[in-house]
Amino acid sequence: MKNSIIHKILFLIVGFLCANSNGQDLNAHKWKNRILIVKTLNSDSEKFYEQLNEFKNSNNGLKERKIVLYKVIQDEFSSINFTNNGSVHSGKVSEITPQNILDKNEDFEVILIGLDGGIKFKQNEVLLKEKLFRIIDSMPMRKSEIRN
């Protein structure tokens, strides 16, 4: 009986620790944030830095559209949550994303994930912020946000 209780307590502790280790899991953003992933396999990628420069001075637009930006270089990420005062997190890619989102063979990718957790847009070229905002603003949930 005593061993059974101890095993249950240990099971709960391990479960709690595992849940906390995935604090940056993309699913944590579902129905709260839209996710924009900018990924490169090459830390010297011109496209990668051109893409990040495209979003400079766009904090208000990114915040209004509930964007969390994940910058991924190889197997490391850093994220900026524009809806949470620009809070920043970093870690290993395996902590945040399922295998099927990032293409291991693509040197550069831009991926937009909607509030529902589905991939809404994906391309291998630099995405202009105006186009990103148009894509998001055309989504039914965003139209509802604008009306309200």
pLDDT for 21: 37
Residues 58-102 have pLDDT tens digits of 999 999 999 999 999 998 999 999 988 878 888 888 766 665 788
For residue 132, the SS3 value is helix
Alpha helical stretches, state H, 22-125:
46-54, 59-64
User: Does the global pTM surpass 0.85?
Assistant: no
In terms of residue numbers, what domain contains 38? Answer: 2-147
Task: Round to whole Å and give the CA distance between 21 and 74.
Answer: 20
Domain count along the chain? 1
Instruction: Give the mean pLDDT of 27-42.
Output: 92
pLDDT for 84: 86
CATH number at residue 135: 3.40.30
Q: How much of the chain exceeds pLDDT 90, in percent?
A: 57
pLDDT for 141: 87
